[in-house]
A and B are shown apart, each in its own frame.
Chain A
Amino acid sequence: MGARARTVVLIAGLALLAAVPPVAALTGQPFYLDLFRRIMIFAIAASSLNLILGYGGMISFGHAAYLGIGAYAVGILAHYGIYNGFLQWGLAIGAAALVALAIGAVSIRTSGVYFIMITLAFTQMLYYLGISIEEYGGDDGMRLAARSRFPGLVDLGDATAFYYLVFAILCLCLLLVHRLVNSRFGMVIQAAKSNEARTLAIGLSPYPYKLAAFVIAGAMCGVAGALLVNHTAYLTPEFMHWTRSGEILFTVTLGGMATTAGPLLGAAAFLLLEDLLSGWTVHWQIILGPFLVLVVLFARRGLAGLLRGGGRDG
């Protein structure tokens, strides 16, 4: 019952997203194209975190790192005049996966609060690295001279085409996470989350599985970073700022952890709320902060949790 309701919401949500460009064109509000493209990019990032947080129980407070790595991979190649999208995005995915492998190898050996602090600390390290490299703009970041080029396939300069490309990648990522968590691999991850000792006892070592999931999540978030830098057409170390990690973490929780629709719902709710509040007052964070506390205290199962049939807690 609950699962079916969530599937209906997911499909309805995707259908609504698909309908945004024509509606925005008809009503003459191109702003919404921009807003919803941003929402989908953050949904991809949140979905990748959901894989390790929601299903794997790994509280990574450093997911913005991969967003930044993906963005910098595209930006750095563009800086040297290489605009080929396959090269840029390939590097984004590869670099994000590699960094995730390094960070994961150290942090997954620990657990609990250590894991939170270490992922946060390493992301801060990358943030400071971004600030201190003057060649790539340092503190100010750099403009992207041109968007990634996929000659003959799709032109990212065309807002609608770019929108549908992001949409397609989002669908692909949601499907990938869904397939992964329902595979044998995903079962081991979830088993390790619910009881690491028993998982060991039935003869499965969780470490390589968790690390693999961590790397997949990092690579997927790297894609979101490549999309984000094309979306904003500039990049700064702020992409890797620790508050960004916190926002992605909150997005997953707000949407509902360990559900396919959760990250999308969370990203939509969070960014629409941000848009609404920031249009109302420049001091919108004074409302967002307590709102976040209230969500944690009273609505911890998130938006997707509202659709859950009573009883089973995931």
Chain B
Amino acid sequence: MNLVLVLEQLLNGLQFGVMLFLMAAGLTLVFGIMNLVNLAHGSLYMVGAYLAAAAYQWTGSFVLSVPLALAGTLAVGIVVELVALRSLYERDHLDQVLATFGLILFFNELIAIIWGRAAIYAALPGWLSGQVELLGVVRYPVYRALVILVGLAVAVALWIVVAHTRFGMLVRAGASNRTMVAALGVNIRLLYTVVFGFGAALAGLAGLMAGPIYAVQPGMGEGILIQVFVVIVIGGIGSIRGALAGALIVGMVDTLGRAFLKPMLATVFSPTAADSAGPALASMLIYMLMAAVLAVRPEGLFPARTG
């Protein structure tokens, strides 16, 4: 295997990693602050992808479709929070899992009714469909490079918001002691709604960026949701830092495993054995990684808080 191929796959891993991070950040914030397990987070990702595709078709402008899709996903998230999830914060995890599972069924079917069950094509404008020369050696799709840049920028912005603003201070305070924050006179219900909407918008952003790369179809959010769970378990629940580390690790391991495990196995075993075992092993890699991390650090790599 040559250097160019390795570099290209490393970039793909980074691109997948930042996508996972956008999802994981919202999910882990919602869990850390509201103690809510939200399976429907993947549905918001799907909603973001569909709204972006529809808005692009409607307005004819990719640049315009992005804020429209973000605003739409934010609105859907806030409605879901107000109608269904708000009454679940005090419930146990089983109730939350079941109710948000119900929401997934609802959203998948709603999307299927509006846009049909078949995958729809999310187009890219001409100026984003080319390739760009990176580091002088790799020709890399412009769009994927843009996804990496946006993802990293959001990670930095998120860090600034959480670490250096008043809102971020409330978020951190809420994560470490909710009752105390409420007792100090903070409107905790408003804070919850804002945090949830924020997480929804991040999921929508991940979804709208995923649209032109992966298939846009009902149920598209669940595959990534479960991978995001792996990210969160590895990184430590409730921790943004953990989410970033976990997302990059899982993104890299998954992408590199799919690209290089088969050729690597072929050098050790027979090519036919590698042909059948390679893809199977590659798809299991991140889960085995999760098991290994749990065996050593049951709380994840960056536990959010102690006690």
Q: Which A positions have Cβ atoms within 8 angstroms of B?
A: 53, 59, 61, 106, 109-110, 112-114, 116-118, 120-122, 124-125, 128-129, 131-135, 242-243, 246, 249-250, 253, 283-286, 288-293, 295-297, 300
Chain B residues whose CB sits within 8 angstroms of the CB of A112 once the complex forms: 93
Instruction: Select which of B98, B113, B222, B276 is within 8 A of A135 by beta carbon.
Output: B276
Within B18-70, which residues are at the interface with A (CB < 8 Å)? Answer: 31, 37
Q: How far is the CA of A133 from the CA of B273 in the complex (A)?
A: 12
Q: Given that A61-B97, A134-B276, A289-B103 are known contacts, is A117 also in contact with B284, CB under 8 Å in the complex?
A: no
Q: How far is the CA of A249 from the CA of B103 in the complex (A)?
A: 15
Is A242's CB under 8 angstroms from B103's CB? no
* Bound Cα distance A292, B109 (Å): 14
User: When A113-B37, A121-B233 are in contact, do A249 and B97 touch as well, CB less than 8 Å?
Assistant: yes
B9 in the interface, Cβ–Cβ < 8 Å? no
Interface of B: prevailing SS: helix
Q: Which residue on B lies nearest to A102, using beta carbons?
A: B291
B209 within 8 A of partner (CB): no
Contact at A129–B93, with CB atoms within 8 Å? Answer: no
CB-CB under 8 A from A249, the residues of chain B are 94, 97-98, 101
CB of B184 within 8 Å of the partner chain: no
Instruction: Determine how close the nearest CB of chain A comes to the CB of B85; give it in whole angstroms.
Output: 10
The answer to whether B186 has its CB under 8 Å from any CB of chain A is: no
C-beta contact mask, B75-110 vs A, less than 8 Å → 1, else 0?
000000000100110010111011101111111111
Say yes or no: is B112 at the interface (Cβ < 8 Å to chain A): yes
Indicate the size class of the contact surface on chain B: 35 or more
Question: What CA separation (Å) do A132 and B281 show in the bound complex?
Answer: 9
Chain B: minimal CB distance from A107 (Å): 8
| Shortest distance from the beta carbon of B258 to any chain A beta carbon, whole Å | 11
Q: Smallest Cβ distance from A123 to chain B, in angstroms? A: 9
- Across the two chains, which residue of chain B brings its CB closest to A131? B283
12 contacts between A and B (CB under 8 A): A53-B94, A106-B294, A113-B237, A116-B97, A117-B233, A120-B229, A122-B291, A125-B287, A133-B280, A292-B99, A296-B88, A296-B99
Residues on B with C-beta less than 8 A from A242 are 222, 226
Residue pair A292, B276 in contact (C-beta under 8 Å): no
Q: Is B290 an interface residue, CB under 8 A from the partner?
A: yes
> Is the pair B108, A285 in contact by a Cβ cutoff of 8 Å?
yes
Query: Is A289 touching B229 in the complex (CB atoms < 8 A)?
Result: no
